[in-house]
Amino acid sequence: MINTARQRMLAGQPALGIVLGLGSPTAAGILARCGFDFVLVDNQHGDWDDATTLAAFRNISLGSAIPMTRVRKNDFYAIGRMLDRGALGIIVPMVNSADEARAAAFAMRYPPFGGRSFAGCLAVHYGADYDTWADREVFLAVQIETAPAAQHAEEIMAVEGVDGCWIGPMDLARSMGVAPGAPTHEDAILRVLAACRKTGKIPGIYTPNAAVARRRIEQGFQFVTTADDGGLIAAGAREVLRQLERVS
C-alpha cells in the first residue's frame, strides 16, 4: 500500500482534501471517487463514532483518495484506535509545544520508532502485511491553531516523527484576539509556513473554498483541505435554486 497523498507532498506537490463532518460513510465513499487526494473524517468536530468511522475508511479505500482523520484529542489511545481502523493520516488538534508533538509522534508508529500498540488490526481491507508497511506510509500532521503554537512552530515542526502541520486559521485568529485575515494573523500563518520550510516538514492549512485554497497553494502550502461536506451540500442546493431564480 502506498499513501499517494503523502507521496505527492513529499514530491513537492499539493495534496487536496475534503473534510467530512456529517457522519455519513456513504458520502465518504462518493467523495473518495471525485478526485480528492485525501478525505478527512473529522472525529473532533464531526458526527462520527468508531463504527461509522471504520465504515467510512473502508468506503474511502475503495476509491482513489487516502483515508485520514482528525482525532478528538492528543491521546495515545485515540490515535491508536484510528490507526487500527485504517487511517493513513492522523491530524492531532491543539498541539502547542514540542513535548505535545512528541507525544503524538510516539503514538503514531510501532517500536522502535514509536510506542504504538500492535493488535489484530481492524484495517483488514489492507491485507495481512499491513504492519510491514504502516510505519512508512502513515502521515502525522499536528494542528497549529493557537498563538503559543504559532510562536513555537519551529520547535514543534522539528520533532522527529511529525510529518507536517495543518493550520487552523479561525482558531488561530481567536487565540490571537484578531480578525481572520488581519495583518498580524497573516504574518503568523506565514511564519508557520517558514518554520515548515526550515525544518523540511509539509505545510498544511484549512481553507473554506477553492479561491482561498488556490491562494494558499501559491504561497507554498501542500496539505490543503478545500471544502467540507455540509458546505458543499448547502452550496449545491443554493446553486440549484439560483438557477431556478428562487435565490438572487
**How far apart, in Å, are the Cα atoms of 10 and each of 24, 114, 222?**
30, 21, 9
| Residues linked to residue 206 through DSSP beta bridges, in sequence order | 225
Backbone angles phi, psi at 52, to 5 degrees: -70, -30
> Which runs of consecutive H residues, i.e. helices, occur in the chain?
4-10, 25-31, 50-61, 76-84, 98-108, 130-137, 147-151, 153-157, 169-176, 183-199, 210-219, 229-243
Domain ranges of the chain: 4-243
Give the mean model confidence (pLDDT) for residues 207-229. Answer: 97
Phi, psi at 34, each rounded to 5°:
-90, -5
Which has more pLDDT, 93 or 120?
A: 93
In the prediction, which pLDDT does 123 show? 86
Instruction: Tell me if residue 125 is catalytic.
Output: no
Cβ pair 73, 65 in contact under 8 A: no
Global pTM? 0.95
Q: How many CA atoms lie within 13 A of 56 on its CB side?
A: 31
Q: Are 37 and 7 in contact (CB under 8 A)?
A: no
Whether the predicted pLDDT of 247 surpasses 70: no
User: How high does pLDDT run on average in the chain?
Assistant: 96
Nearest to residue 142, comparing CAs of 114, 174, 170, 103? 103
Give dist(CA 93, CA 91) in Å, integer. 6
Q: Is the pLDDT of residue 248 over 60?
A: no
pLDDT, tens digit, 9 for 90 and up, residues 153-201: 999 999 999 999 999 999 999 999 999 999 999 999 999 999 999 999 9
Cis peptide bond prior to 203, omega within 30° of 0: no
Extract the C-alpha cell encoding 141. 500532521
Sequence-distant (≥ 6) Cβ neighbours of residue 62 within 8 angstroms: 29, 32
For residue 248, count other CB atoms closer than 10 A to its CB. Answer: 5
Q: Is the pLDDT of residue 120 over 70?
A: no
pLDDT exceeds 80 at position 116: yes
Q: Which residues have a Cβ under 8 Å from the Cβ of 215 and sit 6 or more positions away?
A: none
Q: What is the pLDDT of residue 70?
A: 98
Burial (Cβ within 10 Å: 0-12, 13-18, ≥19) of residue 101: buried
Instruction: List pLDDT tens digits, range 47-91.
Output: 999 999 999 999 999 999 999 999 999 999 999 999 999 999 999
- Mean pLDDT score, 114-137: 90
| CA–CA gap between residue 198 and residue 195 (Å, rounded) | 5
Out of 3.30.70.20, 3.20.20.60, 3.40.50.2020, 3.40.190.10, the CATH code matching 4-243 is 3.20.20.60
